[in-house]
Amino acid sequence: MPHLPATRAMGESRASMVRLMMPSDANPHGNVHGGVIMKFVDEVAGIVAHRHARRNVVTARLDRMDFLEPVFVGNALTLDARLAYTGRTSMEVMVDIRAENLDTGEVVHTGTAWLTMIALNERGRPVPVPPVVAETEDEKALHELARLRYEARRAERKGAKQ
């Protein structure tokens, strides 16, 4: 395995993805399927988590995701993903999704997704990751929001086990 620093900055693993929405992504009326967008969300979140951990990662959880605005064939979909918080072996990734009408330049925020990714060792078991460090004010706010989500999720899991 590559040598990992004790901590890693949030900005180091940030990733963006741009995809042109094609007819095969949509229903006969040109509305892009939610599942298509969720696949891209999962993919870009996986890149962020893998970049941070430098390990294989899997998705443990994709939180509720609202589709705020429709996405159409011909739109350029941009997904911006950041590693918001690290637990011991888990990573909370936030993905912001925007759709651009390439004819007009209008950009619409179509949703935000939160995912929990887990780093795995060679035997497929969870393995500790370096803590993420928030540097800017914006990153610190995101980190705090994600910490609260992490704590709530842990309490929920604990309750479910009892």
Ligand X SMILES: CC(C)(COP(=O)(O)OP(=O)(O)OC[C@H]1O[C@@H](n2cnc3c(N)ncnc32)[C@H](O)[C@@H]1OP(=O)(O)O)[C@@H](O)C(=O)NCCC(=O)NCCS
Contact between 120 and 60 under an 8 Å Cβ cutoff? The reply is: no
Q: Is 116 in the site for ligand X (CB under 6 A)?
A: yes
Contact between 94 and 117 under an 8 Å Cβ cutoff? The reply is: no
Q: Is 39 in the site for ligand X (CB under 6 A)?
A: no
What is the x/- site pattern for ligand X, positions 74-113, by CB under 6 A?
A: -------------xxxx-----------------------
Q: How far is the CB of 149 from ligand X (least distance, A)?
A: 10
Q: Is 130 in the site for ligand X (CB under 6 A)?
A: no
State both tokens at 110.
């179509």
CA distances 66 to 112, 144, 157, Å, are: 7, 22, 23
Q: Is 60 in the site for ligand X (CB under 6 A)?
A: yes
Q: Is 56 in the site for ligand X (CB under 6 A)?
A: no
Report how far residue 109's alpha carbon sits from residue 120's, in angstroms, rounded to the nearest whole number: 33
Q: How far is the CB of 117 from ligand X (least distance, A)?
A: 9
Q: Which residue is nearest to ligand X (CB)?
A: 87
Q: Is 44 in the site for ligand X (CB under 6 A)?
A: no
Contact between 61 and 73 under an 8 Å Cβ cutoff? The reply is: no
